[in-house]
Amino acid sequence: MSVRQRNNVTISGRGATTLVFLHGFGCDQAVWRFLSPAFEERYRIVAFDLVGSGNSDLSAYDRTKYNTLQGHVDDLLEVIDEFSDGPVVFIGHSVSTMIGMLAGIQAPQRFLAQVMLSPSPCYINNTDYRGGFTRQDIDELLDTMDANYLGWSSGVAPIIMGAPNQPELTTELTNKFCRNDPDIARHFARVGFTIDHRADLPRVRVPTLIVQASDDALAPLDVGDYMHRHMPGSRLDVIRNFGHCPHMSAPEESARVALAFLDSLGAVGNSA
């Protein structure tokens, strides 16, 4: 099958530079509709769905290929190769920030810059690292998914979204979770929530902006500080937001810091 069909690739916007959006766990490219208008006049925008999510081809989901993030890294690089004539700006959310980071380490020449929204290289606490969860927390979360995926979706969506003054966003996220194939979602969750890419942070050579929410149950402020300290040349911006999805609940502020970062690089975002 084609890359376009496999990942439901869509193209919009206008500009000489391509910007690639990639959503987080349980979502699809529609979540970028709050953020993308701020970029459409300056960038050619490529958005796609992770295999197993949204309107991707579910038949392409191979548990062996996607048993680590590398399968999605390979997909991202194929999308860039097919739909961009040159290096891209990558904007990812949550687990997809690590997909973008690993792709940038593997093929830095394909990236001008990357923007990480609510990233985390590891969700599990360690001796000198506070990821936000104990190993028991993660095991219980995954066990709950196995026992009752729809109930888990309804219970965890408000925690992930936050945004108490925007209940429609919680409803949207819950519905997205519930529409996913439960078997694929459970498998991807086990991969995503048990990652540990801390050792890869010093290998990053792509200019990177870390966008951290001031109150995020999945990625506490310590995570952003840790990443900034260990990732050469990175920039950290903390924005006022309650929840893990600032591209949905605080799109104006997320766009502002991302555009300021890209402007500071000087060579991206020129209109065609």
Domain containing 116: what range? 3-121+199-265
Q: Is 67 within a domain?
A: yes
pTM above 0.85, yes or no: yes
Give the active site residue among 244, 247, 249, 254. 244
Q: Is 259 within a domain?
A: yes
Q: Is 151 within a domain?
A: no
The tokens 């097919």 sit on which residue?
Answer: 82
Q: Is 137 within a domain?
A: no
Q: Is 48 within a domain?
A: yes
The tokens 């699809």 sit on which residue?
Answer: 28
For the segment 65-89, what is each residue's pLDDT rounded down to a tens digit? 999 999 999 999 999 999 999 999 9
CATH number at residue 236: 3.40.50.1820
Q: Is 215 within a domain?
A: yes
CA distance 68 to 42: 34
- Res. 270: pLDDT tops 60: no
**216 carries an active-site annotation:** yes
Q: Is 175 within a domain?
A: no
Who's near 9: CB < 8 A, 6+ residues apart?
3, 46, 47, 48, 79, 82, 83
What's the confidence (pLDDT) of residue 206?
97
Give the active site residue among 197, 216, 237, 247. 216
What's the confidence (pLDDT) of residue 266?
80
Number of Cβ within 10 Å of residue 245's Cβ equals 30
Q: Is 220 within a domain?
A: yes
**225 carries an active-site annotation:** no
Give the active site residue among 36, 53, 94, 96. 94
**237 carries an active-site annotation:** no
Number of domains the chain is built from = 1
For the segment 110-125, what is each residue's pLDDT rounded down to a tens digit? 999 999 999 999 999 9
